[in-house]
Amino acid sequence: MRDKELELWRLIVFGAIGLVGFIGLWELVVRLGFIDPFFLPAPSQVVQRMQQLAVGPDAVLWRDIRVSAIRVLTGFFLSILVGVPCGLIMGVNPVIRAALNPIISIIRPLPALSWIPLSMLWLGIDEQQKYAIVFMGCFASVLVYTTDATMGVDPTLTLAARNLGATRMQVLRYVVLPGALPNILSGLKVVLAIAWTCVISAEMVGANSGLGFRIWTAKEWSDTGQVLVGMLSISLTVLLLDILFRGVERLLVPWRKGGSAA
């Protein structure tokens, strides 16, 4: 166990060294004039621009982060609310799976941008349209990940539960769902990143707030620093949400942690 902890800290140190080295090299090449700061500002200039957007009476950066995060989480949780139960049913019922697979195969490859015209025609450019874009961009992936995770549950476990007299609902609740949950959560972490892609696309086309809107507006004014601030804010927000998601994962599947520690 101690060797694993030492190896983890070693990897963290090397990662930190790599990050600091990259930022230092970036700062150096801009300061020495190898790169025009108009096209790529130095990290120190990006931090200065971030302070301008985050501090003051307006503090538009915090508002944009909050607005985008709410849009992402709303659409993401709606896709979970619909996609996970449907995926569980498809995973345990081959007839329903065979009937719905062709429809899912048509919907799944469609990028979020392809839904924007229809969503604007149906819902206008209000908040509901942003939620719908995230939902439609995430739903098929949530459904597929859940279906695959459900089908991966050991059939011996379900058979044993039925032999002991468990009903189909009890098998689904107490055997299939716990068995599939670790892989479902792993898939949802991937879908959460997809949700951010969806909302940024929607905000660039029809919005007056959010990180996508901030990036697109900066492009119109040739404000490269603000573009990078928006991109960095997305990365940091996704990183924070990923950490929170991992905490939720530990609460929902504590046996997975115990199993890996053994």
* Structure confidence at residue 260 (pLDDT): 41
Number of domains in the chain: 2
Residues of the chain short of pLDDT 50, as ranges, are 258-262
Residues 13 and 48 in one domain: no
Residues 158 and 106 in one domain: yes
State the alpha helices, DSSP H only, in the chain: 2-31, 43-54, 60-92, 94-107, 112-123, 127-151, 155-163, 168-171, 177-205, 211-220, 224-252, 254-261
Of 142, 122, 120, 259, whose CA–CA distance to 195 is shortest? 142
- DSSP, residue by residue, 77-142: HHHHHHHHHHHHHHHH-HHHHHHHHHHHHHHTT--HHHHHHHHHHHHTTSHHHHHHHHHHHHHHHH
Distance (Å, rounded) from C-alpha 65 to C-alpha 45?
20
Residues 13 and 76 in one domain: no
Residues 30 and 77 in one domain: no
CATH number for the domain that contains residue 177: 1.10.3720.10
Name residues whose C-beta falls within 8 Å of residue 200's C-beta, 6 or more positions apart in sequence.
68, 210, 211, 212, 215, 234
Residues 5 and 109 in one domain: no
* Structure confidence at residue 8 (pLDDT): 73
Instruction: For residue 81, give Cα distances in angstroms to 98, 123, 143, 150, 162.
Output: 22, 21, 10, 16, 27
* Structure confidence at residue 222 (pLDDT): 84
Instruction: Report whether 185 contacts 220 (CB < 8 A).
Output: no
Residues 29 and 46 in one domain: no
Q: Is this prediction's pTM over 0.75?
A: yes
CA angle 124, 127, 133 (to 5 degrees): 75
Q: Supply 134's token pair.
A: 């995230």
Give the three-state DSSP class for 41.
coil
Residues 143 and 195 in one domain: yes
* Structure confidence at residue 1 (pLDDT): 55
Beta-carbon-side half-sphere exposure of residue 23 (alpha carbons within 13 Å): 10
Write phi, then psi, for 58 (nearest 5 degrees): -80, -50
Host domain of residue 28: 1-35
Distance (Å, rounded) from C-alpha 98 to C-alpha 155?
19
Residues 54 and 158 in one domain: yes
Distance (Å, rounded) from C-alpha 24 to C-alpha 170?
57
* Structure confidence at residue 257 (pLDDT): 55
